[in-house]
Chain A
Amino acid sequence: MSSAPDTSATAMPKNYLNEKITVSSWLLTLDHKRIAILYLVSLLAFFLIGGLAALVFRVELMTPEADVLRSETYNKFFTTHGIVMIFFFLIPSIPAVLGNFLVPVMIGARDFAFPKINLASWYVFMFGGVLALIATIAGGVETGWTFYTPYSTMYANSNVILAVCGAFIAGFSSIMTGLNFIVTIHKMRAPGLTWFRLPLFIWAMYATALVILLGTPVVAITLVMIFVERAFGFGIFDPALGGDPILFQHLFWFYSHPAVYIMILPAMGVVSELISCFSKRRLYGYRVIVFSSLAIAVIGFFVWGHHMFVSSQSTFAGLTFSFLTFFVAVPTALKMLNWIMTLHKGSVSLASPMLYAFGFLGLFVIGGLTGLFLSTLATDIHLHDTYFVVAHFHYVMVGGGVMGFLGGLHFWWPKITGRMYPEGLAIFAAIVIFIGFNLTFFPQFQLGVHGMPRRYHVYPEEFQVLHIASSTGAMVLGFGYLIMGAYLIWSLKFGKIAGKNPWNARGLEWETDSPPPTHNFHETPVVRHPVYAYEYASETSNEPDVQSEKGHV
């Protein structure tokens, strides 16, 4: 049943990729797996655009003077970077690609509950993305991804209207995805797949979808308010009329803090899967991890004011939010402990996806702990709007979110494409990415503590050494991503045939072909065990696992 690496196979059996290959069969597909591929390709394009923007301003930052970009242009570059990376890459990354591909397969369903809405979500997403890019090409937006008023409503150039529309529209696509996840997980599980047999990735998607549904509409209406103020001259946040820009910040962060959990919860789900598979163990504290995901989703909505300590928010509110913020750390720490407990006594193998999981663990701990410095009211007065914050959120978003995404992509790549990538190169790339990442962002903690403000490109000379280190790191990081892109593309044609279950993992997705047939399973699977039952050969059989008894590599 399990892996039978068959390198000789030339033609793959009928599957979702080769069933029909016309352009319209892709653009009008209702198959969640193909939609996931559409998302994957578009998201990687956005990732490339966002990354190039970052490389340009990292080059600018190598010297203390403004020699590559004028200040205004510099602002446009970091705004493009922020908007593209957050709204058009990281927020949809894991849910729209891996989630779209895996949720129905992992729960033994033929598709999502609403396949048409799923396809529509991709079109809506692309429409929003194109609007945002047009704003960039038409002249650029300088507000930063946060669109703070009164800057966005009164001073910034009018491309901001387009960018706001783009972000607004992208929000709909994430709502459609989230809605599909919840309904599908509730209503379409295979027989025998009870709630507490669900893989943790599914739980993570479920928690993420809750945050998406409860948070995204608020940023949508906030962007509408910006829109009517900017486009029609309505007075909503205008201080001249008695309007309050701080109200904008409340509304914006009510979504945007939970949004950081939209970015990290899915990565946590991926990491849970990776750690279980590559330790060949059921996850220690399965239920704790489930409930901590839900707890994070809920508590995430109580803490947004920590982004506003140094605004004119009241001191009392600042205290309240500071206090509440510390509570998010609890479920996060619980997850960490359980992952570590799983590794402990597991038979750990260091395959390339697992390297990303380890990368995630280390970097996310640093990101999370520095979050605690920032959520302490008094220290944040010093650190707010410095590079310390920049380093913090890149450690969580790139070190956590992107590492999770890449780990997941490598793990499920054989399932998605049916082929293996070259493992040696993958390990090399993972190491380059890890080193490049730390070289880029660790110096930024230093910079921040010494007072280098974010969003400035002209700075005192004493900061230059650290900035050069950071820019060099960015290039190493970019190089790492390029290697990865290259071998993944190579593997599409030349990779070894993967077989059903190359990692000897557990979970329904590993019981169907790689790549799966159009309707995922040849017959509806019936689940007979708790999740991650490494003592059995598969989710649906009653036979013990021969391979894991022999001991895995």
Chain B
Amino acid sequence: MSDSRPSYLAHHFDHLEQQKQSATLGIWLFLITEVMFFGGLFLGYIVYRGLYPEAWHLGSGKLDIALGATNTVVLIFSSLTMALAVRSAQVGNRKGCAHYLLATIILGSMFLGIKAIEYSHKFFPGPDSHYFLIPGKNFSLASPYADQVQIFFSFYFTMTGMHAIHMIIGIGILIWLYVKALKGSYHEHYYNPVEVTGLYWHFVDIVWIFLFPLLYLIGRH
């Protein structure tokens, strides 16, 4: 191995292109596993919705469309900034890359904040409401379908919770990237980590693109 190897080329690869292709292939394979992971939840959702359509409509009606839609916008916006962060690295704009990463972190955190507000409404439904929508012993809702609505909320919390955990992990990685980007580690010759994280981030966005209509928008008509 010659001395001309750049520091960012790992010893076991022959050249940068091989390293880059490996990273991209790896993350896409990882995304397959993510699809199947969420797929299990979607399967449960579909089965129960088929069995208990009324309960599903009732449960969906209890979610806040305004907050859900706002979050959709926030998340898609963060996907845009993420894409621009990758692009900045690609064209060698090290500063721009860091800034866009920061923007993505802020938008991602906003999403989580809004999600927390939404969750808290389920915990503390307000003085005049007669329901408590956290599944479990205390779940209460005056409806003949209350039990099945509880299943709906079990899915709502598990699906959005799993999604939120993915967001938190994503934000953690982004912060790490941001710190390195500030030092100028990513540039036109080496930006695998930014690109790979970007792919992950967009995937999390796609999951939400499906969760939003499936959870918030059914049975509104």
Spell out A's residues near B (CB within 8 Å): 109-115, 175, 179, 182-184, 186-188, 213-218, 220-222, 224-225, 228-229, 232-236, 240-244, 247, 250-251, 519
Give Cα distance in the complex from A235 to B157, angstroms: 11
CB pair A175–B47 under 8 Å, yes or no, is no
CB pair B162–A224 under 8 Å, yes or no, is yes
CB pair B26–A217 under 8 Å, yes or no, is no
Partner of A228, one of B11, B18, B29, B158: B158
CB pair A234–B154 under 8 Å, yes or no, is yes
Give Cα distance in the complex from A424 to B31, angstroms: 49
CB pair A247–B44 under 8 Å, yes or no, is yes
Closest B residue to A227 by beta carbon equals B158
B212 interfacial contact with A, CB 8 Å: no
Give Cα distance in the complex from A301 to B151, angstroms: 28
B147 interfacial contact with A, CB 8 Å: yes
Measured CB to CB, the closest approach of chain A to B34, in angstroms, equals 7
Prevailing SS type, chain A contact patch = helix
Contacts of A115 on B, CB cut-off 8 Å? 10, 12
Q: A224-B162, A235-B151, A242-B51 are in contact. Are A214 and B36 (CB under 8 A)?
A: yes
Contacts A234-B135, A236-B158 known; list 4 others, CB within 8 Å.
Answer: A187-B22, A235-B147, A236-B151, A242-B52
Measured CB to CB, the closest approach of chain B to A116, in angstroms, equals 9
CB pair A182–B29 under 8 Å, yes or no, is yes
Contacts of A221 on B, CB cut-off 8 Å? 37-41, 162
CB pair B34–A217 under 8 Å, yes or no, is yes
Interface residues on chain B, size class: 35 or more
CB pair A218–B47 under 8 Å, yes or no, is no
Q: A217-B36, A251-B40 are in contact. Are A242 and B47 (CB under 8 A)?
A: no
Closest B residue to A220 by beta carbon equals B37
Contacts of B43 on A, CB cut-off 8 Å? 247, 250-251
Give Cα distance in the complex from A72 to B155, angstroms: 33
Give Cα distance in the complex from A241 to B162, angstroms: 23
CB pair B22–A183 under 8 Å, yes or no, is yes
Contacts of B29 on A, CB cut-off 8 Å? 179, 182-183, 213
CB pair B26–A179 under 8 Å, yes or no, is yes
Contacts of A251 on B, CB cut-off 8 Å? 40, 43-44
Give Cα distance in the complex from A182 to B10, angstroms: 19
Give Cα distance in the complex from A215 to B33, angstroms: 8
Measured CB to CB, the closest approach of chain A to B178, in angstroms, equals 21
Closest A residue to B24 by beta carbon equals A183
Give Cα distance in the complex from A280 to B39, angstroms: 47
Give Cα distance in the complex from A183 to B25, angstroms: 6
B148 interfacial contact with A, CB 8 Å: yes
Q: A233-B137, A235-B147 are in contact. Are A109 and B12 (CB under 8 A)?
A: yes
Give Cα distance in the complex from A108 to B24, angstroms: 22
| Closest CB pairs A-B (n = 4) | A221-B40, A233-B136, A217-B37, A234-B154
Contacts of A222 on B, CB cut-off 8 Å? 40
Give Cα distance in the complex from A114 to B27, angstroms: 11
Measured CB to CB, the closest approach of chain B to A286, in angstroms, equals 26
Contacts of A244 on B, CB cut-off 8 Å? 47-48, 51
B66 interfacial contact with A, CB 8 Å: no
Closest A residue to B36 by beta carbon equals A217
CB pair A188–B147 under 8 Å, yes or no, is no
Contacts of A214 on B, CB cut-off 8 Å? 32-33, 36
Give Cα distance in the complex from A214 to B132, angstroms: 38
Measured CB to CB, the closest approach of chain B to A527, in angstroms, equals 16
Contacts of B25 on A, CB cut-off 8 Å? 182-183, 186-187
Contacts of B135 on A, CB cut-off 8 Å? 232-235
Contacts of A186 on B, CB cut-off 8 Å? 22, 25
CB pair A232–B136 under 8 Å, yes or no, is yes
Q: A179-B30, A183-B22 are in contact. Are A110 and B38 (CB under 8 A)?
A: no
B2 interfacial contact with A, CB 8 Å: no
B81 interfacial contact with A, CB 8 Å: no
Measured CB to CB, the closest approach of chain B to A182, in angstroms, equals 6
26 of the cross-chain contacts (CB-CB < 8 Å) are A110-B12, A112-B12, A179-B29, A183-B26, A184-B22, A187-B25, A188-B12, A214-B33, A217-B33, A217-B34, A217-B37, A217-B39, A217-B40, A218-B40, A221-B37, A224-B158, A228-B158, A229-B154, A234-B135, A234-B136, A234-B158, A240-B147, A244-B48, A247-B44, A247-B48, A251-B44
B150 interfacial contact with A, CB 8 Å: yes
Contacts of A187 on B, CB cut-off 8 Å? 18, 21-22, 25
Contacting A at CB under 8 A, from B108-138, are 135-137
Contacts of A111 on B, CB cut-off 8 Å? 12
Contacts of B41 on A, CB cut-off 8 Å? 221, 225
Give Cα distance in the complex from A498 to B61, angstroms: 72
Partner of B147, one of A217, A242, A250: A242
Contacts of A247 on B, CB cut-off 8 Å? 43-44, 47-48
Give Cα distance in the complex from A250 to B43, angstroms: 10
CB pair A213–B147 under 8 Å, yes or no, is no
Give Cα distance in the complex from A278 to B145, angstroms: 67
Measured CB to CB, the closest approach of chain B to A218, in angstroms, equals 5
Give Cα distance in the complex from A110 to B14, angstroms: 10
CB pair B18–A213 under 8 Å, yes or no, is no
Give Cα distance in the complex from A216 to B40, angstroms: 11
Closest A residue to B157 by beta carbon equals A234
Give Cα distance in the complex from A329 to B110, angstroms: 53
